[in-house]
Copies of this chain bind each other. A is one copy, B any other.
Amino acid sequence: MLGYGMTNQSTDFETKLDRLAAIAVRHGVNLQPGQELLINAPVTAVDLVRAVARHAYRAGARNVLPQFADQELSRIQLENGPDASFDYAPAWRFEAVEKAIAGGAALLSIAGANPNLLAGCDPAKIARMQTAQAMAARGLSALVGGFAVNWSIIPFADPAWARAVFPNAAPEAAVSLLWDAIFAATRTDVADPAANWRDHAASLAARTAMLNEKRFSALHFSGPGTDLHVGLLPGHVWIGGAADSRTGIRCLPNIPTEEVFTMPHRDQVSGTVRASKPLSYAGTLIEGIEVRFESGRIVQADARTGTDVFRNLIATDEGASRLGEVALVPDASPISQSGLLFQNTLFDENAASHIAIGRALAVNAPGGRTEGLEGANNSLIHVDWMIGSAEIDVEGIRSDGVAEPVMRQGAFV
């Protein structure tokens, strides 16, 4: 693959990029004629944004408006900004997007963060910036989490991300290798992507239907370094693959997606858990996380690298040290089988069962709303981290206390 010819690559590449754009518009966002489309994208993703815009306008978009960002500016701010700048994020910016959503706009995020962006920066300042950002985006996060409109996230092979995933490859080769992995994971590479996505969404739907029928009161994760009991909220809803917006549009919020997930009870998590993959958060790689829960709360947290960033993260607010999501992903997931460590949540969370600290998601709540819901966690943050692997077993605890095997050595039973 390193010898990939440039001419072949570019023809082939452009076709695949165009297919990824088509999947994003038709299946990811499922853009409706007359809808406005907002795109959050890194400046490096301009070619993919153009391809998406072409498909969106052909699908009848009223308007396509990218909101490009340059991730390097966070480092520039950390290195040059006055102290007061770390506690400020412009709320007017997020309120504008809320207004667009109120007008029916669909959202597409293009994700390709550099996992090492802020390596070496002051963890305390990073935490203040993250908190300010999360505060300013609170209203928007609630709208997105509550599926006020149809939205989706798709990946993009940012050069800095590619270097992190393929540190031994030459820069261009690393980008090419990451694109190959992206096209495979997003099912862009198959003969009929539309049919493939339909089948895949149906199999995730069958899995959620089975789990919703079980009505487990808890899940028990066990394996090396892990003995974790996760109580599930009474009336919890398992979700996977497609989701319906409140405006009645079925979208695929994550591309790729391999997970089924539901809502833990904020007070009923106990035991120890060891992360099975590093967590990339706020431009920092947090490796070797080990955590102990008591009555739903993290009471001890260690990591091999990035400890300060992780401890600041769980100290963001009261809910940041409690769980808002638990998700099951088989080790047979194509992303896991690729053997790659993506250092990007959109991929790694679809390669392994995981938990998320912070805010619970309204889609997992009985009735689709978390407001005033006993046992639903709330926080400014929602951060997934991976705990599953081929060495982990999962049992479902029935209301009569009997344990039923759900996953054995990373595979659904």
Contact = CB atoms under 8 A, between A and B. Distances in A.
A68 B54 CA distance: 19
A46 interface: yes
| Number of this chain's copies in the complex | 2
Interface stretch (A11-19, A89-97, A405-413): A89-97
B66 A53 contact: no
Interface in A35-57: 36, 43, 46, 49-50, 53-54, 57
A166 interface: no
Interface string A59-73: 011111111111011
Contact of A54 (B58, B76, B92, B103): B76
B76 A90 contact: no
A100 interface: yes
Given A63-B88, A88-B62, A53 B77 contact: yes
Given A63-B85, A81-B57, A70 B46 contact: yes
Contacts of A36: 90
A43 B53 CA distance: 16
13 contacts: A36-B90, A43-B46, A46-B70, A46-B72, A49-B70, A58-B80, A62-B88, A66-B70, A68-B69, A92-B99, A92-B100, A93-B96, A96-B99
Interface of A: 33-34, 36, 43, 46, 49-50, 53-54, 57-58, 60-70, 72-73, 76-77, 80-82, 84-85, 88-90, 92-93, 95-96, 99-100, 103
A82 B60 contact: yes
A52 to B, nearest CB: 10
Given A53-B76, A64-B76, 19 more contacts: A34-B84, A43-B46, A43-B68, A46-B70, A46-B72, A50-B76, A54-B76, A54-B80, A57-B82, A57-B85, A62-B82, A63-B88, A63-B89, A64-B73, A66-B69, A68-B69, A68-B70, A93-B96, A95-B99
